[in-house]
Copies of this chain bind each other. A is one copy, B any other.
Amino acid sequence: MSAVQRGTPMATQPMATGRPATIHDIAALCGVAASTVSRALANPERVNIRTRERIQAAAVELNYTPNSQAKALSSGKTGAVGVLVPDITNPFYFDLIRGTQLQLKAAGYTQLLVDTEESDEVEASTLEQLRKSADGVVVAASRLNDEALAAAAARMPMVTVNRDVDGVPAVLIDTPSAMPQALDHLISLGHTSVAYVSGPAVSQSSARRWIALSEAAEERGVDVRRIGPFAPKTQSGAAAADAAVHSGVTACIVFNDLIAIGMLQRLRERGLRVPEDMSIVGCDDIFGADFCNPPLTTMSSPIEQAGRVAVSMLLAQLNPLAGGGNRSRSVMPTHLTVRGSTGSAPSN
């Protein structure tokens, strides 16, 4: 990161003209028609190289930047992409957002980030509004039902993250595949009675994780019960911890790290030790999972990459010209990261 030093900005600061330059200013300066300027900038090969260069030079000189509103109006393309997340304060989405932002910026798009507040209504109305102000959307962990989501996807280009609906391209974070790993990890530590602490009832992620886990449990002949649902917030961890203790299990696999971290706090309050009395496995490996107490065993994925991939898929949909076949589904690998919150089952 030593590149920080470079470029002390004595940068060529464009002087503050009263109003940003337009193609008409350029046209006037070059003595050509505005349309010629437009072409010179958009379809350079359609314009004489000398004129073109004169125009390009003038554009630089006037510090011209196209007016995105006007461009959107006449071309129908806004150059913006909406990114919908259910809760912007959930650390899981930080890296996702950063991934989408990076990839969008690289492609010259603007990111419209919206927090849908875990509400299907906010999500639906946002999608409707975005239909006119964005070229496409990335929808993370949608709270909409399948029909509504499919309908929205039919109206505008969309890529979902962690949500699988027929006909809608998706990036899936393959947490379910790590469930057997997590279970084997617990079994190897002597646990035979495990609880799955589930997330929101409308979360497809939670459902998929539970299915994967219960299948793996059946194969291995282990008792796994399900408790919940719980909201994906640390505050929910207290109730989840109490429910887990009451159920008598010695280990929990938890919908996500927020709840898991909340459980750690609650268990400590109740005088129970982790992992001596109870093992906890989280999910997502969010910011904080490595420095909570004890550090959380959890399932990790390349989240930022997921954001980048989602945007790539969306852009491929928007610009079908570019080579790469349009994948309609991309799966991000997941693995178990073992830390301090899991240990041998109580020996009693």
Chain B residue numbers with a CB within 8 Å of A16 are 151, 154-155
Interface membership of A20, Cβ < 8 A: yes
Partner of A129 from B11, B65, B133 at Cβ < 8 Å: B65
Q: How many positions in chain A have a CB within 8 Å of any CB in the partner chain?
A: 53
Interface membership of A188, Cβ < 8 A: no
Q: A68–B246 Cα gap in the complex (Å)?
A: 54
Partner of A128 from B65, B101, B234, B264 at Cβ < 8 Å: B65
Interface membership of A78, Cβ < 8 A: yes
Chain B residue numbers with a CB within 8 Å of A288 are 287-288, 291-292
In the complex, which of the residues A1, A9, A78, A288 has the most CB atoms of chain B within 10 Å of its own CB atom? Answer: A288
Q: A67–B133 Cα gap in the complex (Å)?
A: 8
Chain B minimum-CB-distance residue to A129: B65
Given A89-B94, A101-B115, A121-B9, A264 and B291 touching (CB < 8 A)? Answer: yes
| 20 additional A-B residue pairs with CB within 8 Å, beyond A20-B131, A68-B133 | A9-B120, A9-B148, A11-B121, A65-B132, A67-B132, A69-B69, A69-B73, A70-B73, A88-B97, A89-B94, A89-B95, A89-B98, A101-B114, A111-B114, A264-B291, A288-B291, A288-B292, A291-B292, A292-B292, A293-B293
16 A-B residue pairings within 8 Å (CB atoms): A16-B151, A20-B131, A20-B132, A65-B128, A69-B72, A69-B78, A69-B132, A89-B94, A98-B115, A112-B112, A113-B113, A234-B291, A264-B291, A287-B288, A288-B292, A291-B293
A-side residues, CB < 8 A to B, are 1, 7, 9, 11, 13-14, 16, 20, 65, 67-70, 72-73, 78, 88-89, 91, 94-95, 97-98, 101, 110-115, 120-121, 124, 128-129, 131-133, 148, 151, 154-155, 231, 234, 261, 264-265, 287-288, 291-294
